[in-house]
Amino acid sequence: MEDAVKVAIEVIQRYDFFAVYYDHGGAGLANAFRDRMHRLVVKEMQERTRGGGGGGKGVGWEKVMSTCFEKMDEEVTGVECGTTTAVDEVMETMGSTAVVVLVSREEVVVANCGDSRAVLCRAGTAVALSHDHKPDRPDEWERVEVAGGRVININGNRILGALATSRSIGDRYLKPYVISKPEVSVIERTKSDTFVILASDGLWDVVSNELACEVVKRYLDGHIKITFSEHKDGCSGNHAAEAAAMLAKLAVARGSTDNINVIVVELKA
């Protein structure tokens, strides 16, 4: 597995932090992001609210999250060192996608960079909270070409024929065509919001937003019953974790050959 997940409860100002990272460089960047990204968010929030108190609603989340992703990108590509000698040839081709969700009682904040995805279940209906950064997405294709790059079809559309996502953290060798800037959205919570699913593309390649939400909904409502081994799955008794594990098993059963990591976040009042 090249994925990593992070859950940090009340990481700052009543916000819980959830993230899925997918390392496509094979050298452990996802684990580095798991240990570092939420700390960058905390630091950025503290700096922005210092002297003003509070935080939360009214925060310029797009700027906050874009800054954190940029700093993470600088750390892993060696930009902040000021020289290219700080990055060896292996680091040049390392990268990771990231989908980050912060949840408070009032809102859900989503920052996505890459082809992982976050989906909300609202009144029983699947609502996409992020949109995959695929090279063949029209606006991404145009952005890449304007920057001087090309989208080449080699076993699917890829940036310069190499990478199947048009945004990621890292991947220095594909800059400026592949960027680390996330798309950020802030969704006001309603009483009909029941849960959020975050997952890497190993799930979404074979399971639709609608099916994923229906499966989780039916499981949490008790209409689907599956016995989990606590020793094997590490989620026995935690219904959200069990629902996430069930989605991963469903993806495998449907033939997914990519990495699969899933988080289900129950939205309780």
Rounded (10°) angle between helices 61-77 and 29-49: 140
Q: Is the pLDDT of residue 224 over 90?
A: no
What are the strands of the beta sheet with 125-128, ordered from one edge? 125-128, 117-122, 193-199, 262-266
For residue 96, the one-letter residue type is S
pLDDT at 228: 59
Range 196-221 average pLDDT = 96
pLDDT at 160: 97
| Separation of alpha carbons 40 and 81, rounded Å | 18
User: Is 151 in contact with 163 (CB distance < 8 Å)?
Assistant: no
Which domain range does residue 121 map to?
3-266
Q: What is the CATH number of the domain that holds 74?
A: 3.60.40.10
- Classify 97 as helix, strand or coil: strand
User: Into how many domains does the chain fold?
Assistant: 1
Q: Computed over its alpha carbons, how large is the radius of gyration of the chain?
A: 19
Among 30-39, 51-60, 142-151, 244-253, name the one with the lowest average pLDDT.
51-60
Q: Is the pLDDT of residue 20 over 50?
A: yes
| Separation of alpha carbons 116 and 101, rounded Å | 12
